[in-house]
């Protein structure tokens, strides 16, 4: 455990001094109390540690646990991690078997028949190029009122008191339930997509940029002006509730790799401002949720049109860079799409 602790301290200072692989630096490391340290890892493990429904943890002893599946034969235990969550303690075994070949790289030639384009958003969690749409369930919004009541009760209790600790535990369990509901729904949604196509085209979204705080506006006399952050806070909460980043960056690629299929990210620039049928530019504001093309007469939900464009960009069937511009308008970007 001490080896793992030293490794974590080194990583924390490395992120603070040098930054991560993207150059983003973390805050200054600080000492943590025992109640804030919820995980620890044994760097070396062994199958001998497990006997039936018990596991032997060095310096602790034999501990009963619920084993939801047996450890596979032929594998060796590399590490054993213990973590505390809202509903109890969990043990995680990291296994290795060098005889198992690495998962091969999926090489599928995308075609219009075996692919699908997906536009992710808040009105529709996904709008597909085949016209299918799926509305986000909003698990957090459904539990927000109950969560607010529990938080109000907790704030009325004294810090460190037993009633406050109990309420904190109830709040943590509610957050855990929301996260698990969302994750389960993401897995079900990913399975639905992978049943329809072998190649999934999605936008290369930077959700952290979409949920960034608005910059402060300051008047000449030094006072601060309204910057729309109150409305933006509600939008940010909806982004977090939908879990778009978790779905696009983690769950969908994971399920696709297991199924022998592929997820391809495309440049999102211009995919909402062109017609998917004739490729002409049709400027739309954020409040305009329906796409009506004055040139070819195409009419469909804005997000479905984006899904079609995402598929075309991914297939490289049509180059939007050479799309015929409608007209230049003052204050707008160039009519050419950079996708």
Using the predicted structure, report yes or no on whether residue 233 has a pLDDT greater than 90.
no
**What is the rounded average pLDDT of the residues 283-307?**
88
User: pLDDT, tens digit, for every residue of 163-190?
Assistant: 999 999 999 999 999 999 999 999 999 9
Q: What is the pLDDT of residue 337?
A: 46
Q: What is the pLDDT of residue 209?
A: 74
Pairing of strands 262-266, 199-203: parallel
For residue 186, the model assigns a pLDDT of 97
Q: What is the DSSP letter of 281?
A: B
- The string over 236-273, giving b where at least 16 C-beta atoms fall within 10 Å of a residue's C-beta and e elsewhere, is eebbebbbbbbbbbebbbebbeeeebbbbbbebbbbbb
Between 93-102, 232-241, 243-252, 315-324, the lowest mean confidence (pLDDT) is in 315-324
**For 190-201, how does the pLDDT look when each residue is reduced to its tens digit (9 = 90+)?**
999 999 999 999
| Residue 307 zone, left/alpha/beta (φ > 0; ψ -120 to 50; rest) | alpha
H/E element holding 141?
helix 139-155
pTM of the model: 0.82
- What is the C-alpha to C-alpha distance for residues 175 and 169, in angstroms, rounded to an integer? 10
Give the largest Cα separation in the chain, rounded. 75
**Mean pLDDT, the chain, integer:** 86
Query: Is a pLDDT exceeding 90 seen at residue 276?
Result: no
Q: How far is CA 281 from CA 142, 205, 240, 269, 277, in A?
A: 38, 21, 31, 12, 11
Tell me how far apart the alpha carbons of residues 315 and 308 are, in angstroms, rounded to a whole number.
11
Q: Output the pLDDT for position 326.
A: 54
Average pLDDT over residues 48-67: 92
Determine whether 153 is exposed, middle or buried from the number of CB atoms within 10 Å of its CB (0-12, 13-18, 19+): middle
CA 78/CA 70 separation, integer angstroms: 16
103-160 pLDDT per residue, tens: 766 778 888 899 999 999 889 999 999 999 999 999 999 999 999 999 999 999 999 8
Percent residues over pLDDT 90 in the chain: 46
In the Cβ-directed half-sphere of 262, how many Cα atoms lie within 13 Å? 15
- Average pLDDT value for residue range 61-84: 90
Count of Cβ atoms closer than 10 Å to residue 62 Cβ = 10
User: Which residues lie below 8 Å from residue 237, measured CB to CB, with a gap of 6+?
Assistant: 140
């Amino acid at each position: 455990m001490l080896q793992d602790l030293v490794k974590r301290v080194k990583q924390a200072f490395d992120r603070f001094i040098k930054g991560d692989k993207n150059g983003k630096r973390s805050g200054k490391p600080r000492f943590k109390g025992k109640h804030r340290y919820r995980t620890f890892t044994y760097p070396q493990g062994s199958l001998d540690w497990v006997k039936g429904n018990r596991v032997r943890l060095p310096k602790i002893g034999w501990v009963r646990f619920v084993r939801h599946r047996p450890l596979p034969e032929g594998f060796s235990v590399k590490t054993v991690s213990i973590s505390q969550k809202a509903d109890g303690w969990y043990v995680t075994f990291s296994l290795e078997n060098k005889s198992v070949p690495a998962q091969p790289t999926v090489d599928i030639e995308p075609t219009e028949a075996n692919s699908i384009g997906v536009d992710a958003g808040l009105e529709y969690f996904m709008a597909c190029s085949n016209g299918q749409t799926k509305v986000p369930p909003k698990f957090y919004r459904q539990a927000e009122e109950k969560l607010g009541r529990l938080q109000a009760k907790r704030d009325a209790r004294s810090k460190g008191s037993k009633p406050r600790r109990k309420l904190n535990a109830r709040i943590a369990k509610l957050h855990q339930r929301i996260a698990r509901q969302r994750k389960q729904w993401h897995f079900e949604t990913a399975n639905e997509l992978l049943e329809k196509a072998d190649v999934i085209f999605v936008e290369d979204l930077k959700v952290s940029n979409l949920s960034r705080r608005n910059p402060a506006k300051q008047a000449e006399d030094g006072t601060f002006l309204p910057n729309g952050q109150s409305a933006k806070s509600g939008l940010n909460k909806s982004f977090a509730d939908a879990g778009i980043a978790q779905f696009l960056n983690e769950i969908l690629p994971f399920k696709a790799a297991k199924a022998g299929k592929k997820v391809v990210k495309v440049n999102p620039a211009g995919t909402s401002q062109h017609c998917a049928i004739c490729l002409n530019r049709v400027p739309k504001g954020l409040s305009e949720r329906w796409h009506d093309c004055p040139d070819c007469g195409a009419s469909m939900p804005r997000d479905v049109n984006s899904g079609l464009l995402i598929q075309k960009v991914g297939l490289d069937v049509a180059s939007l860079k050479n799309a015929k511009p409608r007209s230049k308008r003052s204050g707008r970007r160039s009519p050419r799409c950079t996708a």
